Amino acid sequence: MLILAGQGNPGPAYSGNRHNVGFRAVDEISRHWRLGPERARFHSLVREGEIPTPAGGVKVLTLKPQTFYNESGRAVAEAVKFYKLSPADVILFYDEIDLAPGRFRMKTGGGAAGNNGVRSLIAHIGPDFRRARLGVGHPGHKDRVQGHVLSDFHKVDQAWVTALLEAVAEALPLLVSGEDERYQTEVMRLAPADKADPRQSQG
């Protein structure tokens, strides 16, 4: 089993925030692959199902921590412990301010780079989880970062955000097969970032 965890804050007030694009990614994955009904478990909202691959189906658990963004590691750790998984079985989808809007990068391990949600996962399960980083752009100054990530995407961003989320879901069989580099390439092929104008994503 793999845990596909999204980062975000619970509640409708946050649903359109850049910080919640990780939640939106796992929601789109659940919709695209028709995973099971959403239920409360592990201080999270979860869905279960199977992703088809050429080598056979891979069981997945999508997980949206309801502990708020900066404490998401606590919820993920509960699921990891219950299923006796390793950090390599966790894939975290989250907003990345150090990537231009619409860019997408996979990475395994490393530090938190100032992201408190990632820092929480590192504290609870260690650094060696897989990271699906969805670029939301940088506001230009560190003092504006919090306002940037806690504000909604602009209307002009919606087309590329939707395309990126759909690509993340459509290419998923590559990710669950462990082909992270091919997955990254396919996501960017399906949703080329040059269609996202970074000037439109300044908070």
Active site residues: 19
Amino acid letter, residue 164 = L
3-class SS of residue 179: coil
CA distance 31 to 51: 12
CA distance 197 to 45: 33
Cβ-Cβ contacts under 8 Å for 87 (sequence gap 6 or more): 80, 125, 126, 127, 128, 129
Q: How many CB atoms lie within 10 A of CB 105?
A: 16
CA 44 to chain centre: 15
